[in-house]
Structure 1
Amino acid sequence: MRNIHLHNIQIADVQHDPSLQRVYGVRSECPFNELVGFHATTSLPPDLMHDCLEGVVPLTMRALFKSFSNSRLCSVNKINSLIRQFPFGLSDQNNKPRSLPYDVVQSDGKVRMSASENWCLFRLLPLIVGMNVPKGNEYWELYILLSQIMDVVLAPKIKVEWVDYLQYLIGDFLSHCAALQPEILVPKFHFLLHYPSMIRKFGPLRHVWCMRFESFHRKIKAIATKSHNFKNLSHTVTKRIQMLKCWEQSSAVGLHEETDATGRHNVPFCRLPVHTREYLISQWKDVDLHISTAQSVSVNGLNLCVVDVVDEVPVFAKVVEILFVNGNLVLCCEFLRTFGFNGHFQSYEVLATNSVLFIGKSQIMYHASDLYNIEDKLLVRMRHKLCGHC
């Protein structure tokens, strides 16, 4: 891996012989190196979005689809049909992937989707096509290895002991790629080798990726398109963004915690289930209760929650009813017993129970997961590996 000493030698060589630019991959000294505490070889973390979600993930999926087509397990038409028929949950609908192009299995084919669509398709692929793939399929094992890697690198909190395991997974994944599909190995695959050391240095790479910047850039592009003013576009966009930020900071809308409910209507206390009435009486004694229910609720964009994590095994609850009691949000949930982790579907298998629990707004964690029924199994596909209350 390039270090400061080697980089300085290469810069000096390039200045003496410009033809070495293509050999070393550098053109000149980085101006930011003049900043105190900064150097281009040590201070720039990798971008998880471009390396993985727009690089390794779609290339691996293309190899997987190509193997399905060649072995007649599942054609591109069949995969597109399964994607269209799949009941994407509420938290996954916003990133619902589009249909695959028919040339995706060709040597020059591509999975033409955005980073969020690539991630949604990759994450839910076991639930969409997993039932058509036999256990032990070597390309499916390749997918599972990358899925385990992504579960770690996308986690907002990472335990120290995970990093060594991540290094082992990456080496195993690259070895499988070299054996099965060496033509897909582009530099972005090599970048994965440096992820464990980068995590040790910068922490979870999710916090330094470009996803949020790309999302904000989309707003800027929308302003540029809708303004129909190309005389001084930078001035127009800058002014509009400044006005938006002024409005957000000066109004209560931009600063308060959002709790948006749909289908909200008042309900008499006597019509509530017995267990709900008993809970409300125990929490709000001698208080007049004004109760309303809602079809759905979004707490800062979240609809469903993971209640707890015990020994790295998540405990789930299914939201059954949404109540507003004197303006306070209360979720009536059914406890779901975690049966175990299904390796083929890369999902937690849960069992419904008759146990009821109530969750207040302060107890809602930021995870938003959907419950899927696949082959009579209730499955929850997590977005990343969990670390306690992360």
Structure 2
Amino acid sequence: MYFDVADECVVPDVMHDVLEGYLPYTTKLMLNYFISTRLFSNDDINSLMSNFDYGFEAISIPSPLTSTILQSADKTRLGQTTSQMWTLGRMLPVMIGHFIPQDDEHWVHYIQLLDIVDLIFAPTVNPETPGYLEVLIEENLEQFVTLYRESVLPKMHFLIHVPRLLARLGPLVRYWTMRYEAKHQYFKSLATHMGNFINVTFSLAMRQQSYQCYVLNSDSGFCFKSQIIGKGENITVQATNFKDQLSSYSLTEHDMVFCTQTAEVSGVKLKTGVAVVLSAEDKSHAKFGIVKNLFVVDNELILALHALEILEYSVHHHSWIVEESDRRSVMSAKSIPSRQVLTLRPIRDTFLKQFFVTLKYSL
């Protein structure tokens, strides 16, 4: 009947609502609960955090969790930046999951919250996602009040509207303020280091415009370079372990290919030893491969892969458990269905070559 501004126009900022609201609030309560039950100590957490292999998440390694921060009155304060909080939330199940009993109610609640976060931050939305997400959010909020006897914050309440807006507007990460905050960080860092406090806004504007002129006059402009190849060497196809697979590119054993350990394609950084998504239909049909070599054939980057055998999806660790197989394949880097580059993390207390694979967001 009437145009409702709040219903039609207001887009939620999932960065603030989740990464600076519900996730740190719940993480803080959950850690304090387990510390109080003596499953682990604050020192145990910090030791695990400092020795953890963050892989590609190393640019946002979480800060130590002091007892002062954990006991502070600020409910959503954990001493982390937004990107650090996202990393900490996703990595905690692999870090401390071995301490937690199976089916612990507080842990099940936290894992369900991570499922919600994965769905909200996914860059694509399936038709069934909003309805499923609505059920998860309702259950999770109800369980939060039951378990922790705490009030629901406004940022938590805003999540109720996420499924409806997700269906109407599409992936909400396309509207979040993360990129604006990143640009703001550039100005804050610049203001600190340039040492000019007479006319700060003028100095920042001049530096910004000078930088934009440089970018516009560079070869790439605003766009990623389509392909950046690292150092390497030319070898024969016969010298590789993928001569049969490379034959699909009309290469003989005596042909030369360029072999490198690192490369970047459309902003996606790749290197040997990382895992990539080979099939991104949904969680139940996911397929992964480990990059063994990177070849350049006719200026095209080719990934030489060993398939990762999926043993199971560990809900308790919010990760897949995989094992490297001998099945080999090659594929163009431009054909990777997902931009997620994943780190293989060895499973504790096992002599088998089994690894955890944790996604950054839902497929």
What is the Cα deviation at residue 326 of structure 1?
A: 4.7
Unaligned 5+ runs, structure 2: none
Asked if 1:240 is matched to 2:207, the reply is: yes
How big is the shift at 1:301?
A: 3.4
What TM-score, normalized to structure 1?
0.83
1:309 aligns with 2:286: no
Larger Rg belongs to: 1
Contact 1:340/1:349 (<8 A) preserved: yes
Q: Aligned to 2:360, what secondary structure does the other structure show?
A: coil
Is 1:72 paired with 2:72? no
Q: 2:328 aligns with which of 356, 367, 381?
A: 356
Given that 2:237 and 2:255 are in contact with CA atoms closer than 8 Å, whether structure 1 keeps it comes out as no
1:149 lines up with 2:113 in the alignment? no
Query: For residues 96 and 286 of structure 1, what CA distance do their matches in structure 2 show?
Result: 45
Counterpart of 2:339 in structure 1 is 366
Counterpart AA for 1:308: S
In the TM superposition, residue 283 of structure 1 has moved relative to its aligned partner by 1.2
Q: Deviations over 1:318-369 (max 9, x none)?
A: 0011223354322111111223311111112222210011121221331222
- Asked if the contact 1:59/1:184 (under 8 Å) is kept, the reply is no
2:361 counterpart residue number: 384
Post-superposition offset of 1:280: 3.4
**2:235·2:259 contact (CA, 8 Å) conserved in 1?**
no
- In structure 2, what is the equivalent of residue 83 of structure 1? 49
Residue 312 (structure 2) pairs with residue 336 (structure 1) = no
CA distance in 2, matches of 1:148, 1:281: 41
Does 1:97 find its partner at 2:65? Answer: no
What SS does the aligned partner of 2:294 have?
strand
- Are residues 160 and 265 of structure 1, via their aligned partners in 2, closer, same or farther at CA, if it must alter by over 3 Å? closer
2:225 is the counterpart of 1:257: yes
User: Structure 1 stretch 144-153 or stretch 310-319: which is displaced more?
Assistant: 310-319
Residue identity in the other structure for 1:277:
K
Structure-2 separation of matches of 1:156 and 1:176: 27
Corresponding residue pairs, total: 348
Distance 1:342 1:114 in 2: 28
User: CA separation in 1, counterparts of 2:91 and 2:210?
Assistant: 39
Which residue does the alignment assign to 1:22? none
Whether the 8 Å contact between 2:69 and 2:78 is mirrored in structure 1 is yes
- Give, in whole Å, the separation in 2 of the partners of 1:286 and 1:338: 33
Q: Provide, for residues 278-325 of structure 1, a one-character-per-residue CA deviation record: whole Å limited to 9, x for no partner.
A: 333441448985433223223213325211134542110100112233
Structure-2 separation of matches of 1:205 and 1:256 = 23
TM-score normalised according to structure 2 size: 0.88
Whether the 8 Å contact between 1:290 and 1:326 is mirrored in structure 2 is: no
Given the superposition, is the C-alpha separation of residues 342 and 256 from structure 1 closer, same or farther in structure 2, using an over 3 Å criterion? closer
Within the alignment, does 1:192 sit opposite 2:155 as a pair? no
Residues 49 and 115 of structure 1 are in contact (CA less than 8 Å); yes or no, is this contact kept in structure 2?
Answer: yes
